[in-house]
């Protein structure tokens, strides 16, 4: 059984998880851009977005743990990440005109902010995020040891 965390412990937990998510998301983006474009860069907003994505995707398992198998968590989590990417893209690129990314030259894009083709690349990242969130919550915060079922 999970132990009850104080408000301060919960705040530190969520900040820690957010930082893990932000760091990994940012590094994945830098690595991807380095491999594909030869320029290892990213935007600081990707750190913020990555942290938010890990918190939201991690919540799938923590608030409805017995209802979703791992595959469903990955599918729902990927959909959530795509929606968060779309929202971030609309704010950063369309409203604030920062030009962080532009997928308008790709087929199956939405407002040039998300590419449905790239969405499939999010699936293994989301699967790793679910595992990482569960692992960190178990090892660091004494929550229930994660177990998975496919569906």
Q: 76-86: per-residue pLDDT in tens?
A: 999 999 999 99
DSSP 95: I
Q: 95-113: per-residue pLDDT in tens?
A: 999 999 999 999 999 999 9
Residue 114 in any domain: the answer is: yes
Domain span at 45: 7-141
Total domain count, the chain: 1
Token pair for 67: 């209802």
Q: Based on the number of CB atoms within 10 Å of its own CB, is 85 exposed (0-12), middle (13-18) or buried (19 or more)? A: buried
DSSP 115: E
- Distance (Å, whole) CA 86 – CA 116: 11
- Distance (Å, whole) CA 3 – CA 56: 21
Residue 115 in any domain: the answer is: yes
pLDDT over threshold 50, residue 6: yes
């Amino acid at each position: 059984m999970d132990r009850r965390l104080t408000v301060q412990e919960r705040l530190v937990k969520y900040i820690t998880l957010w930082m893990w998510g932000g760091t990994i998301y940012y590094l994945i983006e830098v690595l991807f851009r380095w491999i594909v474009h030869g320029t290892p860069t990213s935007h600081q907003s990707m750190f913020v977005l990555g942290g938010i994505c890990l918190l939201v995707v991690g919540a799938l398992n923590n608030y409805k743990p017995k209802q979703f198998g791992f595959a469903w968590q990955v599918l729902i989590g990927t959909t959530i990440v795509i929606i968060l990417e779309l929202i971030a893209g609309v704010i950063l690129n369309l409203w604030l005109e920062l030009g962080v990314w532009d997928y308008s030259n790709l087929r199956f894009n939405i407002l040039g902010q998300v590419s449905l083709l790239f969405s499939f690349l999010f699936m293994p990242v989301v699967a790793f995020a679910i595992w990482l969130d569960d692992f960190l919550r178990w090892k660091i915060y004494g929550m229930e040891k994660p177990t998975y079922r496919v569906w």
